[in-house]
Amino acid sequence: MDLTYTPGQQAFRADVRAWMAANVPAHKLKSYDTREGFEEHRAWERTLNEGRYAMITWPEILGGRGANLIEWLIFEEEYYRAGAPGRVNQNGIFLLGPTLMEYGTPEQKARFLPRMAAGEDIWAQGWSEPGAGSDMAAIRTKAVRDGDHYVINGQKTWSTRAAFADWCFGLFRTDPNSERHHGMSFILLPLDTPGITRRPIPQLDGEPGFAELFFDDVRVPVENRLGGEGEGWNIAMATAGFERGLMLRSPARFQETAKRLVTLYRRHQAKVSPAVGEAVLKAWMDAEAYCLNTYMTASRLMAGGKIGQEASLNKIFWSELDRSMHETALSILGARAELLANGVDDPDEATRWLKGFLFSLAGPIYAGTNEIQRNVIAERLLKLPR
């Protein structure tokens, strides 16, 4: 155990900090859940890629830096410290990207990964259906083989970023007689394919963060299938592992929120009750604990370990931490917590806290509800009966 950064790691941090200082847009981008903001964020992804900072853990040949997980953590810390824009292509770079690396053919990797890193293809995800939420094995949307194509019919919902995204990955039933987690395949498809209808769904803040997708005789080439026919479930589980696991919610994000919360508390300390101080402290402690735990996991993975059921522990911890940090901030803001639009010079950023709170409410629901995660922990870690 050595909890000090090496000179090389310190130099890397300094490089990232300098690059961010020179490149992070001075003005705040519009929300990526608007058409205009979506394209602004795509441009930012292009800038990141030009600096080879779009996906630093990827191999150099794919535009990455071959960075290890500790460097990734340092990068994320500097990214959030700089207040850089949210990653509009997170479905691609954090979820599909690692899945492609593990299950994609060389042709698929070459075809999809560089465009993903450059923001040329922004990805949506297509898991849930009206009758298949937590019970993902209940998926019914069919992809029927017709020569060298699949013909897709059915419906997806809660498809994150699908309102404006270019491509979608998802799970489709390729064996019409199959049931549950058998007979499904993992398929990638352009969202401008004829036969696809998108219906954006406004989320709590009014913006279309996700959409319903209707498939009506949508033809997709067979080479767009990731992995073998009928092997989709296991691949989707790996993707879900990436989602719950290390990368999607880096600790730096929560530490930055905790730092903002501590700052907010200091500003209002004189007028809030001492109980608020303890809630702020709890938020700081939990953000730190999440960070430390991630450094431990990163160290273990770098020594050859694999991520296992701790993905479920992580997902519960960060999602409930995020919600409670925002609740604490709103309690400090008091009557100003309801402001959906504040003046530009509000040092408290009341609206940012409110929007962050609304977003945090989704955390315990997506990527497998926290109830499902608690079942996973109880059954697989504590060996309780199903």
Enumerate binding residues for another protein (CB under 8 A). 1-6, 9, 13, 70, 77, 80-81, 251-252, 255-256, 258-259, 262-263, 265-266, 269, 277-278, 280-281, 284-286, 288-293, 295-296, 298-300, 303, 310, 313, 316-317, 371, 373-375, 377-379, 381-386
CB of 329 vs another protein, minimal distance in Å: 14
Contact 277, 268 (CB under 8 A): no
Choice between 9 and 153, CB closer to another protein: 9
Choice between 289 and 330, CB closer to another protein: 289
CB of 135 vs another protein, minimal distance in Å: 14
CB of 25 vs another protein, minimal distance in Å: 21
Choice between 18 and 285, CB closer to another protein: 285
- Cα–Cα distance, 237 to 127 (Å, whole number): 11
- Looking at this protein, which amino acid is placed at residue 226? L
Residue 140's Cβ-count burial label (10 Å; 0-12, 13-18, 19+) is middle
Q: Provide the H-helix boundaries in 214-368.
A: 232-244, 251-268, 274-302, 310-333, 350-360
CB of 286 vs another protein, minimal distance in Å: 7
Choice between 11 and 340, CB closer to another protein: 11
- Cα–Cα distance, 116 to 106 (Å, whole number): 15
Which residue out of 45, 243, 256, 310 is catalytically annotated? 243
Assign residue 187 a region: left if phi > 0, alpha if psi is -120 to 50, beta otherwise?
A: beta
- Cα–Cα distance, 139 to 128 (Å, whole number): 7
Choice between 161 and 315, CB closer to another protein: 315
Choice between 82 and 339, CB closer to another protein: 82
Contact 180, 132 (CB under 8 A): no
Place of tokens 């870690």: 381
- Judge whether 243 counts as a catalytic residue: yes
Contact 220, 193 (CB under 8 A): yes
- Looking at this protein, which amino acid is placed at residue 38? F
Contact 213, 129 (CB under 8 A): no
CB of 86 vs another protein, minimal distance in Å: 17
Q: What are phi and psi of 175, to 5 degrees?
A: -110, 105
Nearest to 129 by CA among 111, 119, 142, 148: 142
Which residues have CB under 8 Å from 32's CB, separation 6+?
A: 38, 40, 41, 85, 86, 88, 161, 164
CB of 77 vs another protein, minimal distance in Å: 4
* Catalytic residue annotation: 243
